[in-house]
Structure 1
Amino acid sequence: MRIIVSNSSNDPIYEQISSQIKSMIIKGELEVGEGLPSIRGLAKGLQISVITTKRAYEELEKEGFIETIQGKGSFVAMQNKELMKEKKLKIIEEKLVEVVNESKLLGLNYREIEEMLRILFEEV
């Protein structure tokens, strides 16, 4: 499992970790029942605080992406993939509403936003 943490990101480190793990689960890169690195192991590998990785795992567990078994570790929980996809689509939609609102404030038209999106989609 490869997780990249960026100090230049506006997102807190625990959110970066949890969102990357969620993405891996949604894409099927992490299967149901698959074990995650221990909290200490992940913290050591990423050279971050154990408290930060613990918070990321707690968020994932609260949202139902993982389950933790005392003394055994954390594992990918059984998921309804369609429901997870729907949640992600809602998040994307909310972010796009923000983009549309900001674009209108700047006087940008649909074609300009479409072009920006096309360029970003090709680059990322």
Structure 2
Amino acid sequence: MNIIISNRSKEPIYVQIKEQIKQSVLNQTLHPGEPLPSIRKLAKELQVSVITTKRAYEELEREGFVESVVGRGSFIAGQSEEWVREQQLKRIEDKLTEAVEEGRRIGLSLSELKEMLELIDDQTKAEG
């Protein structure tokens, strides 16, 4: 597992860890049942406090991304395809909301934003 911690980020380290593991699940880089490194091992690899990695794992468990088994460790929780899709849709909605808000700040109309989205869609189709 490749987690990169940024000291320049405004997000706390535990959030950076949590979000990167979460994205790996949503991108299907990490699969249900796959073991995560122990809290101590991850803390040592990232050179952060055990408390920091413990908090990240606890939050992931609370959000349903990780299951912990006493004496065995932490594992990626099984996710239904519908749930994964819902999480991906939420992520897209958040990004689009941010784009709409940013557009409004600089005076873009909805039609201009739609046109930009269509141009980006056309460009990505041509590249892919």
The whole-number CA distance in structure 1 between the counterparts of 2:46 and 2:32 is 24
The whole-number CA distance in structure 2 between the counterparts of 1:107 and 1:25 is 37
Note the residue ranges of structure 1 that are not aligned, 5 or more in a row. none
Q: CA RMSD in A?
A: 2.3
Q: Is the 8 A contact 1:26 1:81 kept in 2?
A: no
> Sequence identity of aligned pairs in percent?
55
Larger Rg: 2
Corresponding position of 2:116: 114
Note the residue ranges of structure 2 that are not aligned, 5 or more in a row. none
Q: Is the 8 A contact 2:26 2:87 kept in 1?
A: no
Corresponding position of 2:75: 75
1:47-66 equivalence runs, <5 A: 47-66=47-66
Shift in Å, 1:56: 0.6
1:4-43 CA distances to partner (integer Å, 9 max, x unpaired)? 1111112221111111111212222222111100001001
Could you say what secondary structure the match of 2:55 adopts? helix
Corresponding position of 1:93: 93
Paired residue total = 118
Partner AA of 1:55 in structure 2: R
Q: Give the TM-score, by structure 1 length.
A: 0.82
